[in-house]
Amino acid sequence: MEALSPTMEEGRVVKWHKQDGDPVKTGETLAEVETDKAVMDLVARADGVLRQVAVAEGQTVPVGSVVAVIASPGETVGVSVAAAPPPAAAPSGGGMRDAGSGMRDAGGMAPTLADVARVKASPLAKRIAREAGVDLKLVTGSGPGGRVVKRDVEGSASRALAPAAAPAVVESHPASRIPHPAPLGLPLPERTGAAYQDVPLTQIRKTIAKRLATSLGPIPHFFLTTEVDMERAADARDALNKQLGDQGKVSFNDIIIKATALALTKHPACNAWFQETHIRYWHEVHIGMAVAVEDGLITPVIRNAELKSLADIGREAKELAEKARSRRLQPTEYTGSTFSVSNLGMFDIDQFTAVINPPEAGILAVGSIVQKPVVVDGQPAARRRMRITMSCDHRVIDGATGAAFLKTLKQMLENPLAMLL
Amino acid sequence: MATLTYRDALNQALREEMQRDPNVFLMGEEVGVYQGAYKVSRGLLEEFGPMRIVDTPIAELGFAGIGVGAAMGGLRPVIEFMTWNFAVLALDQIVNSAAKILYESGGQVPIPIVFRGPNGAALQLGAQHSQAWESWLSHIPGLKVVAPATPADAKGLLKSAIRDNNPVIVLEGEMLYNNKGEVPEGEHIVPIGQADVKRPGRDVTLICHSKTVAVALKAADQLAEREGVSAEVLDLRSLRPLDEPAILASVARTNRAVVVEEGWPHAGLGAQVVDVIQREAFDQLDAPVLRVTQADVPMPYNKQLERLAKASPERVVAAVRRVLYLD
C-alpha cells in the first residue's frame, strides 16, 4: 500500500481494476484506493503479472503492507502472502493493523517491505523536505538507486508548496464541537436502552478529527468581527456578470477571495506560518477555500489569488469545488494554502468563528448577506450587509495587526474599485 | 605587483626573512655554491655568506638533526630537501625530534624550524621519486603542513612558516617552480590555516591543494564550457591545520564536493577532508563526497601510464558529473 497523500497512514481498496493473473504495465492503474483525503489510483510500479492479491475490495490496510505481488510472466512466486482476512462488518483500525503486520511477517517479504519503507534520500534532500513539509515517500528519486536528491524535492516543493503537516481540512462549525456542560445539579439523563448506531469513522473524518485537535487546543485563537456593507460589491458583481454573459460567473465568494488575497499582500504579517523556531512570512498568497463534501470538508487552494482575475478565480473555484465533491482532488490541489476562507453564507449563517487551518495564522469566516436597516448619512436605509469574522493565531498576529488587515479588507469589499489601487 | 616565478617567490621570501632576522639560515644539499637543485637559493650565498647558506653532505638524517639542534639553541633554520622522497631518510628527526620536543619539554623548548622541498610526482621520475607525502606528514601532531599552489602563496606561506615557532613542513612542487604569477612585494604574509577560494562557483566544490589546484581549475573551465556547471575551486593551502570553516562554508554554498589530491587513495589527505564534511555538513550534502587521487599503485615510469595514474581534469569532470547526478 503506497502512501498516496502526504498524511495517509492507511488506505481502503475501493475497487481492483486488475485481477490475479492479469498482465500489468508500469503506470497502469491497479486499484482505486480511498485515502484520508480522496479516492486515488494505485498504479503499477513494474511490468509483469499481478499475483497474490492480498487485500479484498472494501478492506483497509496500513501504508507499507503488501496488497499484491507483480511477478515476471511464468515466475513462480515463492512467497506465500497470507490471505488477508475478509473485511469485518465493523472494521476496527487496530484489527486491520494486526492483519497488516501479520502479512509483514510472511516468509521472505520482509526485505521488500524494508525497501518500501526506507526512502533513500540525500541528507540535504531530507532537510529541505523537512523544512518544506514535503513527504519524501511521494517524491520520485532521480539519483542512483532511486535516491531522492535536492532537485527532486525542490521540484516537488514548488509544485505543491506542500506541508506534509499541512492540513487540508478546516472546521467551520465550532458550535458542534464546543461541549455543553450539564447544568449544575442536573445530571445528564441516562440513555440506557435508547437506540443508537455506531458509524465507523471514514478516512476523511479521522483526518478531520486528528487535524482539528491540533488546532484550537495548541493554537491561541482570538476573533475579530466586522460588518461589511455589500451594496457596491453586489452592484459590481451584477455588472460583471452582465458583461461576462455566458463566459462565466462571478460569485460573492470569488470577490471575497480576491479581496482577501489583495488585503494580505498589503498586510503580509497575516500571511504567515508559526513554526517552532521562527515565523515564516510567505511572499505569495494561496487561498484555501473550504468546501463541504458528502462526509466532511476539504480546502482546495486557489494559488496566487492576488494575481488572478475575478473571472479566473470564479472558474477555478467552480472546478475545484466540483473535484472536491467528486473526491478527485490531487494532493497538490489541496495543500499549500497560506490563508483560508470559509463561507457559510449559503446556509443563512449570520456570523460564525472558524478554526484555523494549521500552520496558517488566520482564517476568514464569512456569513450570509442580508438586507437590514442601517443608518446612512443620518437616515435609515435598507442595505445588504455581511458579517465577517477573522480567527487569528495570537502567536503570529496581534489584535491591532488583525484589525488593520480586516479594515483594508472591509474597505475593498465596500468599494470594490479599491482593489484596483 | 611584480610577476615572479614560484621559485623566485620562494627566493624572495627567504631573502627578506634572512634580512629581517639574523637567526634565520638555510641548510641543505647544493643550496650554496650550486644555488639550489631548483635554483630557489639563487644569489643567497653571495649575499649572506657560507655561515648562513650552508651546503651539506648527502646525509638527510644528519642535517635535519643539526637543524633541530640549532632550533633548540635559538636559531631559525630552514632545511631544504632536494625532494621529499629523500626526506624519508630524515623522518626520525622530523617526527620524533622536531614534532615532539616542545611537548616533551613541557612547553619549554620551541622548535622554530622549516623543512621544505618539492613533493609529489614530476615527470617520469619513477616510482621512488614520484611520491606525495602530505598524508604522512599531516598525520603528526606537532607539525604544521602547508602546500602553496601559486607564487604569491609560496612567498606568503614560506614567510609565515619561517616566523612560526613550530616545525612547519613546506611542500613545494618541481612542476610548480617555473609557474608565474603576481606576487606582492615586501611584507606579504599568508597566515597558516587559511584556505583560499581560487574560483567561486555554485554547483560543486573542488577541494584541492598544490599541483591539483591547476587540475581543478582546468576541470572547472571544462565544466563551465561543456556542462554549464559552476564549480568552486577551494585551495586548502594549509593541510595541517585544515581550514575547516572555509571547507564547510563552501560546501554549504554548493552542497556537493569532490576532493582532488596527489597521493594514494588509502588513508589519503582527502579522506580527512571528507571526514570533516560528513561530520559537520551532513545536512548540507546532496551527494556523497568523491575523491580524485593518484592511482593506488607505485607511480609508473611509462609516460602514458603515469599520465593515467595522476589526478587529471578528465577524472575530476567525471567525478563532478557523478555528484551532480548527471550520468
Cβ A360 vs Cβ A168: under 8 Å = no
Express each pLDDT in B105-145 by its tens digit: 999 999 999 999 999 999 999 999 999 999 999 999 999 99
Give the three-state DSSP class for B98.
helix
Please identify every stretch of chain A with a pLDDT value under 70, giving residue numbers as ranges. Answer: 76-117, 157-201, 217
Residue A351's pLDDT is what?
A: 94
What SS3 state is found at A375? Answer: strand
- Asked if residues A392 and A362 have their Cβ atoms less than 8 Å apart, the reply is yes
Give the separation between CA A359 and CA A202, rounded to whole angstroms.
24
Write the CB contacts of A392 (distance below 8 Å, at least 6 apart in sequence): A221, A222, A223, A224, A270, A356, A361, A362, A399, A401, A402
Please report the pLDDT score of residue A279 as a whole number.
83
DSSP-derived pairing of the beta strands A301-303 and A286-289: antiparallel
Class level of CATH domain B2-183: alpha beta
Q: Alpha carbon of A317 to those of A161, A250, A314, B20: distances in Å? A: 19, 10, 5, 81
Give the cell for residue A136: 519524501
- CB of A144 within 8 Å of a chain B CB? The answer is yes
Residues of chain A with CATH 2.40.50.100: 1-112
In the stretch 150-189 of chain A, residues with CB closer than 8 A to chain B read 150-151
C-alpha cell at B322: 557523478
What pLDDT, in 10s, does the model give residues A129-139? 888 888 888 88
> What span, in angstroms and rounded, lies between the C-alpha atoms of A87 and A93?
12
The pLDDT score that the predictor gives to residue A303 is: 93
Class of the CATH domain delimited by A203-420: alpha beta
In CATH terms, is domain A1-112 a member of 1.10.1740.10? no
Tens-place pLDDT, residues B16-65: 999 999 999 999 999 999 999 999 999 999 999 999 999 999 999 999 99
Q: Do A57 and A32 meet the contact criterion of CB atoms below 8 Å apart? A: no
Residues of chain A with CATH 4.10.320.10: 119-160
The answer on pLDDT for B296 being more than 70 is: yes
- A 10 A CB-CB count for B66 gives 17
ipTM score of complex: 0.71
A contact test, residue of B274, B280, B286, B290 with most A CBs within 10 A: B286
The Cα-based distances of A309 to A236, A264, A302, A420 in angstroms read 14, 16, 12, 11
- Tell the residue number behind the cell numbers 540525500, with chain if given: A122
Q: What residue ranges of chain A are covered by domains with CATH 3.30.559.10?
A: 203-420
Is the C-alpha dihedral spanning A243, A248, A251, A254 positive or negative? negative
Please give the model's pTM, rounded to 2 decimal places: 0.54
Interface test with chain A among B251, B290, B325, B327, by most A beta carbons within 10 Å: B325
- Decide if B129 is catalytic: yes
Instruction: Judge whether B286 is closer than 8 Å to chain A, CB to CB.
Output: yes
Place B1 in a pLDDT band, splitting at 50, 70 and 90.
confident
pLDDT at A107: 38
Q: Is B60 a catalytic residue?
A: yes
Class of domain A119-160 (CATH, top level): few secondary structures
pLDDT at residue A92, as a whole number: 40
Among candidate residues B112, B113, B21, the one with its CA nearest the CA of residue B64: B113
Q: Let me know if domain B196-323 sits in CATH 3.40.50.880.
A: no
Q: Where are the domains of chain B?
A: 2-183, 196-323
Q: How much is the pLDDT for A178?
A: 37
Place of cell 472536491: A324
Q: Which residues of A are catalytic?
A: 394
